[in-house]
């Protein structure tokens, strides 16, 4: 297969989807790999390293799209890329389809076979780990007096107590943030809706982390004594409620910090609006908000290495076995299929955009096989199904 590695063009994105190590592996499997010049430069991977791994360096994205059967990168397709897509082409990136109807329409119109990377990770996204760990550090930076924060040091100083932190969500993101903050000496409370998750975290930290069931009422009780809140909740898209509404900001001391790592529009934090690394913070009701949408882009080298390691098995399987067989063998890859030659195959997108969809196993004609299974990627369901005759 001819595989193309694109240079990401989204503002603030510094990662690359494959390092020279993964490129060498794919070439060793018998594939041809083309890499757009400069694709890995900001993550610390020079063009020369890709060339030494056996890649063909090309000047433009147009050449990648025009000559490669399989095209991949880190972030969503920008509108300038829509017309470059070709019918039958396999594309793999973080599409976030439910939130991007124009992008989905382009994928359908171009009749590509698209996979949304964020749903393909069997052991949780490495980007979630990166966002949780680095997001915690950005929160500490936001707590500095020079950034509008109340000026508390994370573990305290002699005679001065350390920070009290509330982590909303005990999944991959929340656990990653907790690991950093506990190591640095913060006093942490984790809230989640899963009592099993809370018990597990409590045991893991020898009962030295407080845990509570996540409700708006419990959050309100803690906010007056909380220095920093990290939102790590995968909020159901379309939900009209909030875990922290604007009025609740008044419960917090001025200079307290909210880090919205989840970064959802109409998400768990009503006062959220997306920011960038160039202008990462704003203050509302005296509370410092850090709401950068691309936290892993700040640690591009480590995040690229971890991300590439996670997706390499999918790339190898698709190239070796073809799309249908690869999806039969891996339920996480199958659930991440977003479009197939003009058909929508992503359930959450169907529900939230009111589009008909078809199950990947049906469009791939593998429904009668013994398939590797995976849990649903989200809680959102759609009965707006297409059935082939």
Triad 65, 67, 73: Cα angle to 5° = 40
Query: What is the rounded distance in angstroms from the CA atom of residue 11 to the CA atom of residue 71?
Result: 20
CA distance 373 to 371: 6
Whole-angstrom distance, CA of residue 34 vs CA of residue 230: 40
Does residue 271 contact residue 246 with C-beta atoms inside 8 Å? yes
Determine how many CB atoms are found less than 10 A away from the CB of residue 24: 18
**264 classed as catalytic:** yes
Whether 96 is catalytic is yes
The backbone torsions φ and ψ at residue 27, rounded to the nearest 5 degrees and listed phi first, read -70, -40
With beta carbons less than 8 A apart as the criterion, state whether 337 and 114 touch: yes
The active-site residue out of 192, 264, 289, 346 is 264
Task: Give kind and range of the element (H or E) at residue 288.
Answer: strand 287-290
Give the pairing type, strands 228-231 and 257-260.
parallel
DSSP 304: H
- Between CA 138 and CA 136 the distance in angstroms is 5
Choose, from 47, 96, 100, 372, the residue flagged as catalytic.
Answer: 96
The closest alpha carbon to 214, from 237, 187, 202, 232, belongs to 232
* CA end-to-end distance (rounded Å), the chain: 31
DSSP symbols for 139-207: HHHHTSGGGTS----TT-BTTB---EEEEE--SHHHHHHHHHHHHTT-EEEEEES-HHHHHHHHHHTTT
Q: Which of 192, 152, 144, 148 is nearest to 168 (CA)?
A: 192
Number of H helices, E strands in the chain: 14, 15
Active-site positions read 96, 264
């Amino acid at each position: 297969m001819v595989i193309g590695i694109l240079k990401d063009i989204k503002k603030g994105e510094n990662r690359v989807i494959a390092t020279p190590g993964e490129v060498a592996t794919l070439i060793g499997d018998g594939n041809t790999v083309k890499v757009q010049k400069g694709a890995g430069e900001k993550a610390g991977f020079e063009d020369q390293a890709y060339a030494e791994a056996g890649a063909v360096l090309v000047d433009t994205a147009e050449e990648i799209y025009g000559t490669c059967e399989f095209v991949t990168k880190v972030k969503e397709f920008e509108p300038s890329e829509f017309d470059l897509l070709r019918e039958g082409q396999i594309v793999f990136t973080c599409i976030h389809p439910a939130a991007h109807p124009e992008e989905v329409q382009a994928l359908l119109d171009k009749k590509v076979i698209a996979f949304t990377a964020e749903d393909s990770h069997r052991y949780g996204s490495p980007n979630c780990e990166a966002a949780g760990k680095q997001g915690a550090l950005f929160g500490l930076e936001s707590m500095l007096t020079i950034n509008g924060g109340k000026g508390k040091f994370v573990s305290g100083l002699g005679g001065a107590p350390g920070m009290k932190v509330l982590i909303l969500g005990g999944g991959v993101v929340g656990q990653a943030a907790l690991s950093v903050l506990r190591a640095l000496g913060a006093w942490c409370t984790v809230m989640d809706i899963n009592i099993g998750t809370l018990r597990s975290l409590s045991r893991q930290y020898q009962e030295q982390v407080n845990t509570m069931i996540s409700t708006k009422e419990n959050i309100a009780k803690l906010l007056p004594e909380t220095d920093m809140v990290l939102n790590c909740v995968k909020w159901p898209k379309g939900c009209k409620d909030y875990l922290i509404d604007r009025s609740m900001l008044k419960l917090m001391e001025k200079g307290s910090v909210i880090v919205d790592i989840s970064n959802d529009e109409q998400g768990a934090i009503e006062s959220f609006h997306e920011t960038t690394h160039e202008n990462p913070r704003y203050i509302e009701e005296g509370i410092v908000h850090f709401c950068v949408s691309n936290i892993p882009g700040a640690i591009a080298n480590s995040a690229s290495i971890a991300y590439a390691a996670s997706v390499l098995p999918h790339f190898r399987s698709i190239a070796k076995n073809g799309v249908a067989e690869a999806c039969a063998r891996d339920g996480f890859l199958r659930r991440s299929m977003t479009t197939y030659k003009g058909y929508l195959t992503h359930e959450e997108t169907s529900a939230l955009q009111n589009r008909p969809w078809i199950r990947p196993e049906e469009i791939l004609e593998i429904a009668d096989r013994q398939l590797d299974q995976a849990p649903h990627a989200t809680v959102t369901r759609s009965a707006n199904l297409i059935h082939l005759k």
